Structure 1
Amino acid sequence: MWCYGGGAKASNTLGSVELSRRHPVASWLCAMLHCFGSYILADLLLGEPIIDYFSNSSSILLASGVWYLIFFCPLDLFYKCVCFLPVKLIFVAMKEVVRVRKIAVGIHHAHHHYHHGWFIMIATGWVKGSGVALLSNLEQLLRGVWKPETNEILHMSFPTKASLYGAILFTLQQTRWLPVSKASLIFVFTMFMVSCKVFLTATHSHSSPFDVLEGYICPVLFGATWGGDHHHDNHGAPHGMGLGTQHSGLPAKAKEELSEGFRKKKTKKAD
């Protein structure tokens, strides 16, 4: 919850501060999506009432209180406290502990309804861990903004990728294909998530620990994207521009030799 307000105030590019002043109801709804988006998506996937979690009045009141303090606390004292780096790292670590628990609980819940539905279990665990990010476009619509190019599936952040990989691991464990206990897997994955997220937050880094591994695996499994684009550009250009496009990529010396040869050929034809 505090991350929602903190991120908005830090950049001020999303208009969340102005929204809270001019349209407090829309701002409150956006905050509720950030708090309970994972539960809403999971209930939607499993065919359960998506508003069911809002029956927990204490959670709604707590989230509403934090929302109010973030945006309307005098002198921004609450916001400054939660953004103080040592305090922020504690909240970040707690958030990752909750994320892993939500992934495990979501997969267990899906397995109870669909014993052999691997895809359903993975999808449920994934949205449980990263439902907030996956609902970012809906949250933008509530704020009157539409940016489909910022879709989380197109540009996955570290928590979204980690939630997906974690959902696969917990699904394998739930279906007995991964010979480890659930408690051990929860402990190891929690330590991994907490360590990575705390390090990224402390260093103000937006990179992902998976980038290096994906850099080796993705070209092998899915091909090199730059090669495909280059091939498409050569064959997709108009007929009259094909030669010019090819020549533009030649070195300067090769261009001079080609031009000189063309002039000699033209002189011979004139003779």
Structure 2
Amino acid sequence: MEEVADFFYDLPKDYGLAFDTVHYIVSLQGERADLGDDFDSVTKLNPLASWVSSMMVCFAGGILTAPLCGEPMLSALVDDPMRLLIATALWYMMFYFPKDMIYKASKQAKIPLYAIKGLYYPKKILSGIKHAKHIFKQNPLAAVVIATVKGNGSGLIKPFARLARGKWSPDVFESIKPSLTTKYCFLCALIYVYFPWDSTYVLIVGILIAMKVGPLFNVSMDPFTITEHKLAPFVFGDKGKQE
């Protein structure tokens, strides 16, 4: 088990640039999907807003965790110009390449891209836990929060990314409707904070890859909704009876 864990620990570190590149591609796919019918108008009339929004999504984990840890918010963007340049190049190719060839090609490679993205989540969660422990010492709550934000920063930053494009959508705040990815990142961070074992990390890797790849094969990866619907009336009361 230790060898397997070491493999999963080291892979995203040894090939960090490749993993970051995949992360940017998947994030930009999500950004295009979020634009929807506004894609042409935003990218053609407001390219700067499109770029700012896209960079916010690509570097969301660092942008959001920095102020939580008392660090400069823009350090995630300016500390590594090479990654910013790569993300910008990918943004241009996926948004402006003739006939959408690059974007369409990336959509055809969803399975390997999503599998690598699934491997990327544990690395980000572990990075968030280590960072939080360095700043907040022995504070498990801070470690779970920072790791969750680091893991799914692109989902958490979505309302602010939309605002950068001139669209305010407070209904998409994760505090109102947490995404499946945020729930998984929170659960995995919670498990690893209290059980920081090699076997735990391997388990988390398997869970997060399944979460990302499973839906591509029409496999439901949402065990939370049923549980929430069962527990919510007992914990918070039956809204229907009160009305």
8 Å CA contact 1:100, 1:189 repeated in 2: yes
8 Å CA contact 1:5, 1:16 repeated in 2: no
Q: How many residues align?
A: 219
- 1:101 aligns with 123
8 Å CA contact 2:125, 2:150 repeated in 1: yes
Q: Give 1 or 2 for the bigger CA radius of gyration.
A: 1
Q: 1:53 aligns with which of 53, 63, 76?
A: 76
Does residue 201 of structure 1 match 2:220?
no
8 Å CA contact 1:93, 1:197 repeated in 2: yes
* Distance in structure 1 (CA, Å) of the matches to 2:56 and 2:31: 15
- 1:165 aligns with 187
Relative to the length of structure 2, the TM-score reads 0.82
* Distance in structure 2 (CA, Å) of the matches to 1:34 and 1:11: 11
Range 217-226 or range 32-41, more displaced: 217-226
- 1:134 aligns with 156
- 2:199 aligns with 184
Which AA in structure 1 matches 2:237? G
- 2:236 aligns with 222
Q: Secondary structure at the match of 2:149?
A: helix
Does residue 62 of structure 1 match 2:115?
no
Q: Secondary structure at the match of 1:13?
A: helix
Q: 1:145 aligns with which of 167, 170, 176?
A: 167
Q: Secondary structure at the match of 2:70?
A: coil
How much does 1:220 deviate?
Answer: 3.1
Does residue 33 of structure 1 match 2:56?
yes
Unpaired segments of 5 or more residues in structure 2?
A: 1-23
8 Å CA contact 2:122, 2:151 repeated in 1: yes
Residues 23/75 of structure 1: CA separation in 2 closer, same or farther (3 Å cut): same
The CA deviation string for residues 4-36 of structure 1, in whole angstroms up to 9 with x for no partner, is 443455575362332121111111111111111
How much does 1:204 deviate?
Answer: 8.7
Q: 2:46 aligns with which of 20, 23, 45?
A: 23
The CA deviation string for residues 173-216 of structure 1, in whole angstroms up to 9 with x for no partner, is 35xxxxxx1x32121111111112211133297x7232223333
Unpaired segments of 5 or more residues in structure 1?
A: 175-180, 231-271
Relative to the length of structure 1, the TM-score reads 0.74
Does residue 155 of structure 1 match 2:155?
no
* Greater relative contact order (Cα < 8 A, sep 6+): 2
8 Å CA contact 2:31, 2:54 repeated in 1: no
* Distance in structure 1 (CA, Å) of the matches to 2:161 and 2:35: 16
8 Å CA contact 2:117, 2:212 repeated in 1: no
8 Å CA contact 1:8, 1:17 repeated in 2: no
The CA deviation string for residues 147-192 of structure 1, in whole angstroms up to 9 with x for no partner, is 2122222111110111111221122135xxxxxx1x3212111111
* Distance in structure 2 (CA, Å) of the matches to 1:21 and 1:94: 31
- 2:12 aligns with none
8 Å CA contact 1:9, 1:17 repeated in 2: no
The CA deviation string for residues 81-122 of structure 1, in whole angstroms up to 9 with x for no partner, is 1111xx112111111211111111111111122222222111
How much does 1:123 deviate?
Answer: 1.2
